[in-house]
């Protein structure tokens, strides 16, 4: 494709070409067709140009648009009654194609001369014909040109008329001359723009261009129109109508836009939203889109006032039962966020909801609920409707927990999803460190390991009621969140060694232990101390010389317990978010991990074992819930010996040396330590090397 065949490049070149002609472009289609034939397409047919222009005018940019449209028209003596009537016809032609209604487009008119007069307010007329009839009945005044007073009247008396749903505020000013006070006019216009009003100015015959461009919204090249006389005013009907319907709706961050109508035809509605104060939100902004009988696409940007498919920072889509969500981080120094919302009705649904297709937009940068680590949040209400509730929790002092933090979620008649992060102020589906889900009888669990120097953990909790349960619990659906920063934990060390191999000093030296080593059978680790309540117990096993047990099998069985095992090489604390192997076990479902061959001679295998009493079981076995871990090396000459790490202390050389010669052959039933073994081997090799050098010398 050649560059000039690309629409953007072609349009830019044509714009430069027309500007270089240094001639004004006519406003009527007929004169534009002649201009096109004379300067651009000498062999073209004017009727072809007019036909294409008519097709463009058939587009309905105002389908189901929600606008508060106020016309401010000059009724001063310089206009003349004849030209004033042309202005009224211009207004009627704009209104003719608008969808007038209390929840759609509302229209008001103010005429001004020496003083402003509200001809009719935004709520006065609710049908298209009634608005046009009211415009036709407006009287001509004559007198001065108090434009500034008229703009102040709009701000204080007209746009104060509230409506149920948010709407774009648009003002169209039509005047033929200079106002009585340019400074007051520009200042009054600025107050309106600061309040979220989009201003179009139309100057006819002999306007003060500097005044009207300053009063118009930015960019003034698209919001100010200069006409030679009132005969041209009707040629800009389509332009003002289309631009008014595309004007942005300015809303605050916490605004909820409900029941935004979707066209019942096959047309696509466009709505532009500008959200103010976004950079003042401590947790940025979340936008949720819900749809009834339609399809909605949202483009968002902090840099572009009209985001679209070609230029946006964030995008989401939504349809029935599948809401869209945007999690927006302030990336600009601007104090506003722009959203472009495209909506279209669905014709594949046979539902009463399609009688009034619509969408809702929620913007809720909610400040977090700050809780301490030991806090239990009980009976947190879940909405009884079909809505999803969002709660953001900031858990303080998390870095002061030596064992990380355990978060347990229990639910009554609902479904809860929790996203957790130490690095993100608003964890969500697209950006989180930890995630869990919970429902009735299936609690959710998060096992958190600090990955940040921050002193806080952020949790986003999404909850929704279940409607498939017939239970009295559903009268008050709720969830509980418990924070437990000190989960019970035991560390152990296992050594893979050859059967009947020479023993190290530490293996044989009872002085190396504060208590008797806990060793069940060789290669078997028992835990008979699972807590009887819902507490989760954590045990970490570090298996030294793991390369000597390539192909080993780790078997996990449980008695009245739920057990999860995470395994990893080169990770001292494997967990849900970072592990090489994982298995689970319950009474009837044992777990298994098969260790592949390892090439490294230095890495250790670490297992994190999380256990808790299994709910719902009634048995004498549950008096002593427990689990068993069996480590079976592939090589039958190898065995695994384990002891509790906290029972271990370093032996002094004197202690070890004094007992080493007296206790050979006892190592199969005592604990082992890989560090001491390696040190003895290193010393032996150093001694052998020195002896060899001495002999060679």
The CATH code of the domain that includes 664 is 2.60.120.380
Confidence category of residue 509, pLDDT binned at 50, 70, 90 = low
How do 405-412 and 389-396 pair as beta strands?
unpaired
Which of 306-310, 364-368, 531-535 is most confident? 306-310
Apex CA 533: angle with CA 530 and CA 535, to 5°? 70
Confidence category of residue 667, pLDDT binned at 50, 70, 90 = very low
86 in the same domain as 33: no
Burial class of residue 127, CB neighbours in 10 A (0-12, 13-18, 19+): exposed
Specify if 230 maps to a domain.
Answer: yes
- Cα distances from 664 to residues 198, 409, 650, 660, 661, in angstroms, run 93, 54, 20, 7, 7
Q: What is the pLDDT of residue 694?
A: 42
Does residue 167 register a pLDDT over 90? no
Tokens encoding 417: 């999803």
The CATH code of the domain that includes 341 is: 2.60.120
Region 552-581: mean pLDDT is 83
Half-sphere exposure of 614 (CA within 13 A, CB side): 24
User: pLDDT tens-digit profile of 32-45?
Assistant: 889 888 888 888 88
510 in the same domain as 560: yes
Q: What is the pLDDT of residue 398?
A: 56
Specify if 404 maps to a domain.
Answer: yes
Tokens 């019970």, residue located: 488
Region 15-30: mean pLDDT is 81
474 in the same domain as 493: no
Q: What interhelical angle do 128-136 and 81-96 show, nearest 10?
A: 180
Q: What is the pLDDT of residue 585?
A: 92
Specify if 686 maps to a domain.
Answer: no
Backbone angles phi, psi at 511, to 5 degrees: -70, -15
Tokens encoding 353: 């909801």
User: pLDDT tens-digit profile of 188-215?
Assistant: 999 999 888 999 999 888 788 899 999 9
**Which of 302, 329, 363 is the C-terminal boundary of a domain?**
363
Region 223-247: mean pLDDT is 79
Q: What is the pLDDT of residue 156?
A: 93
Q: What is the DSSP string of 538-595?
A: EEEEEEETGGGGTT-EEEEEEESEEEEEEEEES-SS-BTTB-SEEEEE-SS--EEEE-
Which secondary structure element, helix H or strand E, spans residue 319, and what is its range? strand 314-319
In whole numbers, what is the pLDDT of the chain averaged over residues?
A: 77
Bridge partner list, 491: 540
Specify if 302 maps to a domain.
Answer: yes
Specify if 322 maps to a domain.
Answer: yes
* 7 vs 317: which has the higher pLDDT: 317
User: pLDDT tens-digit profile of 294-305?
Assistant: 999 999 888 888
Does residue 566 register a pLDDT over 80? yes
Does residue 692 register a pLDDT over 50? no
- Cα distances from 445 to residues 417, 575, 658, in angstroms, run 11, 12, 51
Q: What is the pLDDT of residue 405?
A: 67
Tokens encoding 502: 């020479």
Does residue 90 register a pLDDT over 70? yes
* 530 vs 151: which has the higher pLDDT: 151
pLDDT above 70 coverage of the chain, percent: 75
388 in the same domain as 338: no
Region 412-422: mean pLDDT is 90
509 in the same domain as 539: yes
206 in the same domain as 140: yes
In 466-514, beta strands by DSSP E: 478-484, 489-498
Distance, CA of 33 to chain centre: 49
Does residue 658 register a pLDDT over 70? no
Q: What is the pLDDT of residue 678?
A: 39
76 in the same domain as 43: no
Query: How far is the C-alpha of 443 from the C-alpha of 114, rounded, in Å?
Result: 73
576 in the same domain as 464: no
* 520 vs 64: which has the higher pLDDT: 64
Q: What is the pLDDT of residue 677?
A: 38
259 in the same domain as 238: no
Does residue 20 register a pLDDT over 80? yes
Using CA of residue 201, residue 204, residue 208, residue 209, what is the dihedral sign? positive
Query: How far is the C-alpha of 288 from the C-alpha of 286, rounded, in Å?
Result: 7
Query: How far is the C-alpha of 402 from the C-alpha of 574, rounded, in Å?
Result: 16
* 530 vs 400: which has the higher pLDDT: 530
User: pLDDT tens-digit profile of 151-163?
Assistant: 999 999 999 877 7
Three-state DSSP state, 669? helix
pLDDT above 90 coverage of the chain, percent: 18
Distance, CA of 579 to chain centre: 27
Confidence category of residue 676, pLDDT binned at 50, 70, 90 = very low
| Domains held by the chain: number | 5
Tokens encoding 44: 């073209």
Bridge partner list, 111: 73, 117
Query: How far is the C-alpha of 456 from the C-alpha of 450, rounded, in Å?
Result: 10
Does residue 686 register a pLDDT over 60? no
Does residue 286 register a pLDDT over 80? no
* 199 vs 663: which has the higher pLDDT: 199
Q: What is the DSSP letter of 155?
A: I
How far the first Cα of the chain sits from its last, in Å, is 82
Specify if 146 maps to a domain.
Answer: yes
Tokens 């969808």, residue located: 99
Query: How far is the C-alpha of 228 from the C-alpha of 25, rounded, in Å?
Result: 12
Confidence category of residue 4, pLDDT binned at 50, 70, 90 = low
Which of 154-168, 425-439, 480-494 shows the lowest per-residue confidence on average (mean pLDDT)?
A: 480-494
Which of 244-258, 542-556, 607-621, 645-659 shows the lowest per-residue confidence on average (mean pLDDT)?
A: 645-659
Specify if 685 maps to a domain.
Answer: no
Specify if 695 maps to a domain.
Answer: no
Domain with 624 in it: 489-676
- Cα distances from 548 to residues 99, 150, 545, in angstroms, run 79, 90, 6
Does residue 177 register a pLDDT over 90? no
Q: What is the pLDDT of residue 104?
A: 83
Does residue 472 register a pLDDT over 70? yes
- Residue 542 near residue 492, CB atoms below 8 Å: yes
309 in the same domain as 224: no
Does residue 636 register a pLDDT over 60? yes
Region 312-318: mean pLDDT is 88
Region 47-61: mean pLDDT is 76
Query: How far is the C-alpha of 114 from the C-alpha of 468, rounded, in Å?
Result: 68
Which of 111-125, 269-283, 501-515 is most confident? 111-125
Query: Residue 242, Cβ neighbours under 10 Å: how many?
Result: 16
Q: What is the pLDDT of residue 278?
A: 54
- Cα distances from 47 to residues 44, 50, 233, in angstroms, run 9, 5, 23
Confidence category of residue 400, pLDDT binned at 50, 70, 90 = very low
* 248 vs 641: which has the higher pLDDT: 248
- Residue 376 near residue 428, CB atoms below 8 Å: no
Which secondary structure element, helix H or strand E, spans residue 256, and what is its range? strand 256-261
**Which of 307, 339, 363 is the C-terminal boundary of a domain?**
363
**Which of 213, 245, 277 is the C-terminal boundary of a domain?**
245
308 in the same domain as 228: no
Does residue 630 register a pLDDT over 60? yes
353 in the same domain as 225: no
Confidence category of residue 478, pLDDT binned at 50, 70, 90 = very high
Using CA of residue 683, residue 684, residue 689, residue 690, what is the dihedral sign? positive
């Amino acid at each position: 494709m050649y560059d000039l065949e690309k629409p953007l490049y072609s349009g830019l070149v044509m714009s430069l070409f027309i500007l270089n002609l240094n001639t004004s472009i006519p406003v009527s289609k007929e004169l534009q067709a002649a201009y096109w034939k004379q300067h651009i397409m000498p062999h073209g047919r004017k009727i072809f140009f007019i036909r294409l222009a008519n097709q463009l005018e058939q587009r309905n940019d105002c389908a189901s648009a929600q606008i508060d449209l106020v016309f401010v028209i000059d009724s001063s003596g310089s206009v003349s009654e004849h030209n004033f009537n042309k202005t009224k016809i211009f207004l009627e032609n704009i209104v003719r194609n608008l969808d007038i209604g209390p929840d759609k487009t509302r229209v008001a008119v103010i005429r001004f001369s020496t003083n402003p007069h509200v001809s009719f307010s935004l709520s006065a007329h609710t049908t298209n014909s009634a608005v046009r009839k009211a415009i036709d009945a407006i009287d001509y005044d004559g007198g001065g040109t108090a434009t500034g007073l008229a703009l102040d009247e709009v701000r204080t008396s007209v746009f104060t008329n509230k409506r149920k749903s948010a709407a774009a505020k648009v003002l169209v000013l039509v005047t033929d001359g200079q106002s009585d006070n340019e400074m007051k006019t520009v200042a009054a216009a600025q107050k309106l723009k600061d309040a979220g009003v989009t201003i179009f100015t139309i100057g006819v015959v002999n306007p003060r261009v500097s005044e009207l461009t300053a009063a118009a919204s930015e960019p003034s090249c698209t919001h100010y129109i200069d006409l030679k006389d009132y005969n041209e005013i009707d040629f800009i009907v389509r332009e003002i109508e289309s631009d008014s319907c595309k004007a942005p709706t300015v809303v605050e961050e916490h605004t909820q836009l409900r029941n935004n109508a979707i066209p019942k035809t096959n047309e696509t509605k466009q709505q532009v939203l500008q959200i103010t104060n976004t950079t003042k939100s401590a947790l940025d902004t979340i936008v949720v889109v819900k749809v009834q009988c339609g399809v909605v696409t949202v483009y968002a940007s902090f840099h572009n006032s009209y985001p679209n498919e070609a230029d946006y920072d964030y995008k989401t889509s939504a349809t029935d039962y599948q809401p869209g969500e945007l999690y927006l981080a302030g990336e600009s120094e601007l104090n506003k966020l722009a959203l472009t919302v495209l909506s279209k009705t669905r014709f594949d649904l046979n539902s009463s909801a399609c009688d009034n297709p619509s969408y809702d937009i929620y913007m809720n940068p909610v400040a977090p609920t700050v809780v301490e680590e030991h806090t239990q949040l009980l009976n947190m209400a879940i909405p009884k409707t079909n809505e999803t509730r969002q709660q953001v929790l900031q858990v303080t002092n998390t870095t002061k927990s030596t064992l990380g933090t355990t978060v347990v979620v229990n639910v009554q008649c609902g479904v809860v999803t929790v996203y957790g992060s130490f690095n993100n102020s608003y964890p969500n589906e697209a950006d989180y460190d930890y995630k869990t889900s919970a429902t009735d009888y299936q609690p959710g669990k998060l096992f958190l390991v600090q990955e940040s120097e921050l002193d806080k953990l952020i949790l986003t909790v999404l909850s929704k009621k279940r409607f498939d349960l017939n239970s009295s619990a559903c009268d008050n659906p709720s969830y509980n969140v418990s924070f437990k920063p000190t989960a019970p934990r035991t560390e152990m060390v296992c050594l893979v060694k050859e059967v009947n191999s020479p023993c190290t000093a530490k293996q044989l030296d009872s002085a190396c232990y504060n208590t008797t080593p806990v060793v069940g059978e060789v290669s078997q680790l028992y835990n008979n101390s699972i807590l009887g309540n819902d507490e989760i117990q954590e045990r970490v096993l570090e298996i030294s010389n793991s390369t000597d047990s390539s192909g080993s099998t780790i078997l996990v069985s449980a008695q009245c317990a739920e057990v999860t095992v995470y395994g990893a090489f080169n990770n001292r604390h494997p967990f849900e978010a970072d592990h090489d192997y994982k298995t689970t076990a319950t009474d009837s479902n044992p777990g298994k991990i098969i260790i592949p061959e390892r090439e490294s001679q230095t890495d250790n295998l670490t297992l994190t074992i999380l256990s808790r009493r299994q709910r719902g079981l009634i048995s004498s076995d549950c008096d002593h819930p427990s689990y068993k871990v069996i480590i079976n090396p592939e090589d039958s000459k190898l065995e695994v010996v384990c002891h509790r790490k906290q029972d271990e202390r370093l032996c002094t050389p004197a202690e070890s040396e004094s007992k080493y010669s007296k206790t050979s052959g006892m190592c199969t039933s005592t604990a082992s330590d890989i560090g001491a073994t390696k040190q003895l081997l290193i010393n032996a090799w150093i001694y052998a090397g020195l002896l060899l050098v001495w002999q060679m010398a």
